[in-house]
Amino acid sequence: MARVEFFYDLVSPYSYLAYGRVRDMCEEHGAELVLRPMLLGAVHKAVGLQAPIEIKSKGRYQIRDIHRWAEHYGLPMKFPDPFPFRTLKTMRAAVALEGDEDLEPLTREAFGFYWEEGGAPEGFEEANEDEPLREVARRIGRDPEEVLEVATTAEAKEALKSATAEALQRGVFGAPTFFVGDEMFWGNDRLHFVEEALKRG
């Protein structure tokens, strides 16, 4: 079976936009979607990239562009304020669930809660993530306090560092990034190339 690896961070609006489309694409072509959570801020720092939102003129354009893509896909969009927001603990919870059947529901519900319902963390302190992560845990039927506890373990911290290091080693420099075999594709606007790679088998 063909596989599409999807490297993402829940803070990434283009990852939100791409998620539903790539999931449908994999289903249509009988491919497996492999979710690969990572920490986008650490990736940007490692490769020396500045987030587009931090460049004033580009940031203004990017917000409009994101809304255009949401309209194009027919997706709801409630752009978070503040943006960017903190996802360190949330992404630790995600990597702790890799290989677990709850990673996909957590990813789906977190993208929806953060980008469609205005539920994203409202600050940059560690505690700002707690209630949003609790709500996502409730939605997937997990004990909220258990998920929070897992996200603070040394194992989860190391797992996120390792996942991010692997992404960097494979050439990832932003999100969303997709792999079909060894071929890498970056960006929501490259999904047609992902589909072509799936068609080639």
Over the stretch 23-44, which tens digit does the pLDDT of each residue have?
Answer: 999 999 999 999 999 999 999 9
Sign of CA dihedral 133, 134, 135, 136: positive
Asked if 98 contacts 67 with a C-beta cutoff of 8 angstroms, the reply is no
Q: Out of 3-7, 96-100, 154-158, 182-186, which region has the weakest mean confidence (pLDDT)?
A: 96-100
Q: What is the CATH number of the domain that holds 178?
A: 3.40.30.10
Distance of CA 92 to the CA centre of its chain: 12
The predicted pLDDT at position 28 comes to 96
Among 143, 113, 147, 142, smallest CA distance to 130 is for: 147
Cα–Cα distance, 158 to 44 (Å, whole number): 19
pLDDT reading at 52 higher than 80: no
Q: What percent of the chain has pLDDT over 90?
A: 90
Q: Which domain holds residue 164?
A: 3-200
Report the SS3 class of residue 139: helix
Q: Is the pLDDT of residue 58 over 90?
A: no
Mean pLDDT of 164-190: 98
**Total of domains in the chain:** 1
